[in-house]
Amino acid sequence: MNIAVKTTEQNYSEYMFREALKSGFYDLQAARDEYRLSCGAAGMNRELLWRFMDVQTRLIAPICPHYAEYVWKELLKKDGYIVKAGWPQADSPDLTLKKANKYLQDSIVSMRKLLQKQTSGSKKGKTSTPNVQNKPTVGLIFINEQYDGWKKECLNILQKKFDRATGTFAPDQEILSELQKSEIGQAGNFKQIQKLCMPFLRFKKDEVKAVGIQALDLKLPFGEIEVLTENAELIKRQLGLERLEILSAMDADAAARAGDHASVLNSTPPSPGNPTAIFLS
């Protein structure tokens, strides 16, 4: 809600009324739906729900005055008129919390797709009936919260070769020269090292253009294991699982839990922001 208040205020001040409607109404509706889903059988917090209705009504009052007035008087039972209620107060938005929520939602979506693919089969053009008896009931989610090895070295090089003032990287040849002088560059055949590292370097450079310099961080600004553990019940409900384990891929004992599926961790190893899920029957 804090983000909605600040963003909508800015949109109004810039006469971007369509964007104000989006941030002040539709984005809040989507956030409410996510919250309701995450609460499950426990239900939503009553005080928070009333706060939500109060804030949303104030935000849309400038462009939907009649609707806002109806909600204000008939549903919220407030005195006076909505046009005189004033702008809602809000604390500074917690952007890290927003990123953590996006990470959670994106992870659930990707895990659901993987689970559906596993239960229905992956052959194109063929429709198969899911085997209910073999339906996975256990989920193992492996996390690697920090880049290491050659990826860590690549990120360190990109950080060194990024000009924050201009928002640009040094020429590719200069980056390659730095890679060749690095520990991994001296470890073996440089052509093979270059073939291994260049796709990752290009990917991260493009990501910086999209999301900013934080794309070069070695880890996310929040604990992935903590976020997934706190929302384990939500993940189980969303995926229809009976049991869920959040494991560190860096823990040898935890990695052994993959059993016959250990090859998955090698073919698609987890990285910051991209957990690897294995589903067992």
β-pair type (138-143, 276-280): antiparallel
Edge to edge, the sheet with strand 243-248 lists 243-248, 138-143, 276-280
What mean pLDDT value characterizes the chain? Answer: 90
Query: 140 with 249: CB under 8 angstroms?
Result: no
Predicted local confidence at residue 26, as pLDDT: 96
Q: Is the pLDDT of residue 74 over 80?
A: yes
Model confidence over 8-43: pLDDT tens digits? Answer: 999 999 999 999 999 999 999 999 998 888 887 778
Q: What is the pLDDT of residue 265?
A: 85
Note the pLDDT of residue 103: 93
pLDDT given at position 239: 92
What does R_g of the chain's alpha carbons equal in angstroms? 24
Quote the pLDDT of residue 138: 92
Question: Given a cut of 60, is residue 129 above it in pLDDT?
Answer: no
Instruction: Please check the confidence at residue 123 and state whether its pLDDT lies above 60.
Output: no
Q: Residue 128 above 60 pLDDT?
A: no
pLDDT surpasses 90 at 67: yes
What 3-state class would DSSP assign to 141?
strand
pLDDT at 231: 93
What residue type is 18 in one-letter code? R
**pLDDT score of 187:** 83
> What pLDDT is stored for residue 143 in this prediction?
94
pLDDT at residue 211, as a whole number: 83
Average pLDDT over residues 252-266: 83
Does residue 52 surpass a pLDDT of 90? yes
pLDDT at 264 over 70: yes
Q: What is the mean pLDDT of residues 99-120?
A: 90
User: What are residue 169's DSSP bridge partners?
Assistant: 162
What average pLDDT does this structure show over 78-82? 93
For residue 134, is pLDDT > 80? Answer: no
Give the C-alpha separation, 116 to 132, whole Å.
12
Query: What confidence score (pLDDT) does residue 124 get?
Result: 54
Is-contact 12 20, C-beta < 8 A?
A: yes
Decide if 134 contacts 278 (C-beta within 8 A).
Answer: no
> How far is the C-alpha of 161 from the C-alpha of 171, rounded, in Å?
9
Q: What is the pTM of this model?
A: 0.77
Residue 163, SS3 per DSSP? strand
The pLDDT assigned to 189 comes to 86
Average pLDDT on 94-123 reads 86
Which residue is it, tokens 């804090």?
A: 2
- What are φ and ψ of residue 142, in 5° steps? -100, 135
pLDDT, position 127: 52
